[in-house]
Amino acid sequence: YFVKVAWAWTFWLLLPFIAVTTYQFAESKFLYGPTKSILMVLRRLSALLVGTAVWYVCTGLFMYIENLTGMCSTSGKLGEPRRLYATKQECHQDNGIWDSFDISGHCFLLSYCALMIVEEVAVLEGLSIDQNSKLHVVINGLFVSLCFLTMIWVFMFLCTAVYFHNFSQKLLGVLIGLSAWYGTYRFWYLKPFSPGLPLPNIPLSSKKYSYSR
């Protein structure tokens, strides 16, 4: 039941973490004013909206494929006309067993959530905060919570890999999760019109230029 709402746990922990760290980084490192810092925070928070869209579309697609490829096996009485079932829910209402190609939504979501958390917490590498401040305690608390959540996701991923679905269903779920992560953090978020990477989001070419100087 915990993994069924995995995106909700990830979303509500990343929301304050991204907001606080982005604002602090924009204000202290880039010397942005309050207005520009808030705009930067809103831009980065839109990554959570992208993640929500990815979760919604992919899980909807998985359910569509499961219903499209499924057949229902029921223990009906002899002589009764065979009923056709359109969805898994209809089949379960008649105590049937739905046999279909069920892409592992757990493998998809757990891999995507874990990779997204790892990408976002990397911002702490360049963030300096007074260790005696309340903000330092808040950020550390969120960081520890996100690390603990990632450990849970990895553990549940291993449980799914051992006990649920067949190999092709699990592999396809993981590949879709990896594709969602790569398509956002390694491709789209490098573009100007995107939520952007966690600060400091300096392109590789700019880093090489600064090193050469």
Q: What is the pLDDT of residues 163-187, one digit of tens each?
A: 888 888 899 999 999 999 999 999 9
Q: What is the pLDDT of residues 51-62, one digit of tens each?
A: 999 999 999 998
Q: Is the pLDDT of residue 209 over 50?
A: no
Distance CA 68, CA 86 (A): 8
Q: What is the pLDDT of residues 43-95, one digit of tens each?
A: 999 999 999 999 999 999 988 888 887 777 766 554 454 566 667 777 767 67
Give domain limits for the chain: 17-68+102-207
Catalogue the active-site residues: 106, 165
pLDDT of residue 82: 58
Cα torsion 145, 22, 196, 178 to 10°: value is -10
Distance CA 139, CA 14 (A): 11
Residue with tokens 């309340």: 134
Distance CA 122, CA 131 (A): 18
Confirm if 177 and 108 have CB atoms less than 8 A apart: yes
Please report which confidence band the pLDDT of residue 111 belongs to, taking 50, 70 and 90 as the band edges. Answer: very high
Taking the model in full, what pTM does it have?
0.83
CA nearest neighbour of 116 among 150, 158, 161, 159: 150
